[in-house]
Chains A and B, each alone.
Chain A
């Protein structure tokens, strides 16, 4: 069964450093998303991406964040200068259609020290 994969599973970084989280969406999907989940809290939408551009973003997704699809398979989330409050689980998701079912990856746990 096709699945969304994410690397690394755990990333530890120092405050102010740049991090890149990587995702490989399901191969025939066209819509890609990033969500985050602070420990013990609900899952929050960050950004959606379609046709090589951002479709929608939340207020959390400020200038420190960027997304990219550098090739035909990867989808990345970059945080330019990490803050302590960026510590969370980051989930990538993909869907085949605009309002279709979203399938989530296993997540990357980001710890900012």
Chain B
């Protein structure tokens, strides 16, 4: 119940394309859903986050879509660039201190 399932494990997208990463959860107590971007050898960097009272949040080229009834949320990267090539983690928390992370998606954007 504490798991967050993330897919796909890896993703290759052409420059300018849309990258879509999906996450699903079971615990209905989760109330905060951040996405992190991690480059090799670096710490996770907060990208964008959403709470379940909204269905979508957009920041620049990054959009989170949230489906509360399906217990799913996804990250969309519009106009993907080679510089977006990184590992992306979704996470969830239930009003507590700890984040439960997904297993990560390795994104490669081809030039």
Contact = CB atoms under 8 A, between A and B. Distances in A.
Interface of A: 4, 31, 33, 35, 41-45, 48, 50, 55-56, 58, 91, 98-99, 101-107
Listed residue (A41, A43, A56) with the most chain B CB atoms within 10 angstroms of its CB: A43
A103 B37 CA distance: 12
Interface stretch (B14-22, B39-47, B60-68, B78-86): B39-47
B89 interface: yes
A99 B43 contact: no
Listed residue (B31, B36, B96, B97) with the most chain A CB atoms within 10 angstroms of its CB: B97
Given A99-B95, A101-B49, A44 B101 contact: yes
A101 B104 contact: no
B43 A48 contact: no
A91 to B, nearest CB: 5
Contacts, number: 55
Contact of B97 (A31, A91, A101): A31
A45 B99 contact: yes
B101 A98 contact: no
B103 interface: yes
Contacts of A98: 95, 97
B97 A50 contact: yes
A42 B101 contact: yes
Contact of B98 (A41, A45, A107): A45
A48 B104 CA distance: 22
B95 A42 contact: no
A107 B44 CA distance: 9
B49 A99 contact: no
A42 B89 contact: yes
B32 A99 contact: yes
Contact of B43 (A42, A45, A107): A107
B100 interface: yes
A31 B5 CA distance: 27
